[in-house]
């Protein structure tokens, strides 16, 4: 038995998320479909994380087990030739059987890009807001999220994680012309956690929620709050560190 690790990136615009779904076009489904033909086995990929419909990945890591003796260079060639244009293989290697792309990452990072200038060619890759966002003011709203918290109010109701306690290591903001980029690093993330964090911060920034609304959501994890989920278009899985 061999354990194969692949690193790749994708444009999530035309996928129903990364995880395999019946009758849906997904990133996992497209890669596994090609591997099944090449390796003549039923392949089940394990991935560092899942992305929602429309969310992109600058880097994603998966691994799969196979008994096929096909050499890596042939696998690389087949994936490079056979994958759709919105998925690109970055690396492929054989790793120890104990390697697990889901459970071993030391940290992950997501990037969220917002713009206050409309551009039809960027609609799938940025989230439009109707006026400029001041970096320092937005950071002060998001700053309480840093640290170890129970993020139960920052996940979807169908999230399957047994615990909602997570640690946010850092939140960094960058301005580029008419864009604000938010980079969030943590140990791991709940389903749609980043989008709910950003959506809540935007609601506070634009005066639609009380300034302490986000803090209240953190301090009262068992109390139900209205969730504002930011659009998926500007979200990218940007780092996976082992």
Q: Which residues are catalytic?
A: 52
Residues 6+ apart with CB under 8 A from 48: 60, 61, 62, 101, 102, 105, 108, 237, 240
Q: Do the beta carbons of residue 184 and residue 110 sit within 8 Å?
A: yes
Q: Which of 12, 22, 99, 24 is nearest to 60 (CA)?
A: 12
Phi, psi of 150 (to 5 degrees): -90, 110
d(CA 99, CA 124): 34
Helix, strand or coil, per DSSP, at residue 45:
coil
d(CA 169, CA 28): 28
Q: Which of 38, 41, 37 is nearest to 1 (CA)?
A: 41
By CB atoms closer than 10 A (0-12, 13-18, 19+), residue 102 is: middle
Please state whether beta strands 235-241 and 107-115 pair in parallel, antiparallel, or not at all (unpaired). antiparallel
């Amino acid at each position: 038995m061999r354990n194969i690790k692949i690193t790749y990136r994708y444009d999530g615009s035309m996928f129903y998320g990364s995880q395999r779904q019946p009758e849906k076009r997904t990133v996992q489904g497209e890669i596994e479909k090609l591997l099944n033909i090449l390796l003549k086995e039923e392949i089940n990929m394990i991935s560092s994380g899942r992305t929602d419909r429309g969310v992109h990945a600058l880097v994603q890591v998966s691994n799969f087990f196979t008994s096929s003796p096909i050499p890596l260079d042939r696998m690389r060639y087949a994936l490079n030739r056979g994958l759709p244009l919105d998925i690109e293989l970055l690396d492929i290697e054989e790793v120890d059987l104990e390697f697990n792309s889901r459970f071993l990452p030391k940290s992950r990072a997501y990037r969220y890009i917002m713009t206050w200038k409309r551009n039809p060619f960027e609609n799938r890759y940025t989230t439009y807001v109707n006026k400029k966002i001041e970096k320092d003011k937005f950071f002060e709203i998001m700053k309480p999220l840093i640290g170890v918290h129970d993020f139960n109010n920052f996940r979807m109701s169908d999230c399957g994680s047994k615990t909602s306690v997570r640690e946010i290591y850092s939140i960094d903001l960058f301005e580029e012309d008419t864009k604000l980029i938010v980079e969030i690093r943590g140990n791991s993330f709940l389903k749609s956690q980043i989008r709910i964090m950003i959506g809540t911060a935007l609601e506070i920034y634009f005066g639609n929620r009380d300034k302490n609304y986000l803090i209240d959501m953190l301090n009262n994890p068992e109390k139900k709050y209205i969730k504002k989920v930011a659009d998926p278009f500007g979200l990218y899985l940007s780092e996976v560190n082992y």
